[in-house]
Amino acid sequence: MKVDLITGFLGAGKTTFLLKYARYHLHRGEKIGILVYDFGPVNVDMVLLNSLRGPMCELEMVAAACDADCLGRRFKTKLISMAMSGYQRVIIEPSGVFDMDLFFDTLRDEPLDQWCEIGSVLTVVNANQETDLDREGAFVLASQAADAGCIVLSRVQLSSEENIEETGEYLSALAESIKCQKPLKPIFAKDWDSLTEEDYDMMSNCGYQVNDFVKMNAGATDAISSVVYLEPLGSLEGLLEKTKQLFSSEEYGHVYRVKGFVQDRTTCYQVNATRQGIHTETKTTGPSIVIVVGSGLRENSIRELLKA
């Protein structure tokens, strides 16, 4: 069983890419499993991926709202179960705040080392990547890019050549800051609506690289946390205004991402926001929920803002 990893920092577009990547493998007649876990106690991405369910595709979830040791045990147990279920390929979409060692250590541990083969590690990066990440965010992005077999840029169609070049230079600078021993793999920059079978075949077989680098002290990334708000949210317009406040004011901490669903009268909207912009689209259904992810979050202030 081949196991692929689609990683990337918060809001990079992993779930959108996964939908396309998974459909390519289904079109090839492969039986695939998708394993998702999110940063927080509620998994919004599972709602977005439900359209893939069918006789040749099943979705599985790992609850990541626990400490690192517990997450490691859950992750390994779920992969063992999937390896025994006859999948030809498993695609893992983890949280945007992900320790790459968890993936490699688990797949090389018994009995998975006998049942599974590491396939491709794809790191999705926004072509207009924010270049003023704090220490924790910068390390997460650098470590994800360091081990990738292919760095896939998102939102290329909304970017200039200058933006793409600046993003590549920023990634190289991040890799240098954590003392990467190998250069990053080349960046793949193409509008996802124009991807061909040859493109998907390349990404499915690009592999990965094991890159030595200096890790942050154990527990240092615990500064990254999430706030989950489950109460009714009122109107879409009100939520969008509050989202802008979350990004613009230090009163709420350093916010990386805001995502969730809001019911506005008879319409359900999905909201996905980073500092680069806010994206909304209509959905047939979805829970009333907002998840705020960042570092040094001030939970009480965030809840007061969303409740107002």
- pTM (2 d.p.): 0.85
129: left (phi over 0), alpha (psi -120 to 50) or beta: beta
Q: What CA–CA distance (Å, rounded) separates 166 from 58?
A: 38
pLDDT tens string 94-126: 877 778 888 999 999 999 999 999 999 999 999
Which residue blocks in the chain are alpha helix, DSSP H?
14-27, 45-49, 68-83, 100-107, 112-115, 135-146, 161-177, 197-204, 236-248, 299-307
Strand, coil or helix: what is 108?
coil
Provide the pLDDT confidence category of residue 219 given band limits of 50, 70 and 90: very low
CATH 3.40.50.300 positions along the chain are 2-204
Average pLDDT (151-161) is 94
Q: What CA–CA distance (Å, rounded) separates 35 from 56?
A: 14
Lowest pLDDT segment from 6-20, 52-66, 106-120: 52-66
Provide the pLDDT confidence category of residue 286 given band limits of 50, 70 and 90: low
Are 28 and 116 spatial neighbours (Cβ–Cβ below 8 Å)?
no
Are 14 and 8 spatial neighbours (Cβ–Cβ below 8 Å)?
yes
> What would the CATH number be for the domain defined by 2-204?
3.40.50.300
- The yes-or-no verdict on residue 195 having pLDDT over 90 is yes
φ, ψ dihedrals at 206, nearest 5° = -80, -15
Residue matched to tokens 């350093």: 254
Q: What CA–CA distance (Å, rounded) separates 149 from 137?
A: 21
Domain 224-307 in CATH 3.30.1220.10? The answer is yes
> Percent of the chain beyond pLDDT 90?
53
The per-residue pLDDT for 40 is 56
CATH 3.30.1220.10 positions along the chain are 224-307
CA distances from 83 to 32, 91, 100, 111, 229 (A): 11, 12, 20, 10, 35
Q: How many helices (H) and strands (E) does the chain have?
A: 10, 12
φ, ψ dihedrals at 52, nearest 5° = -85, -15
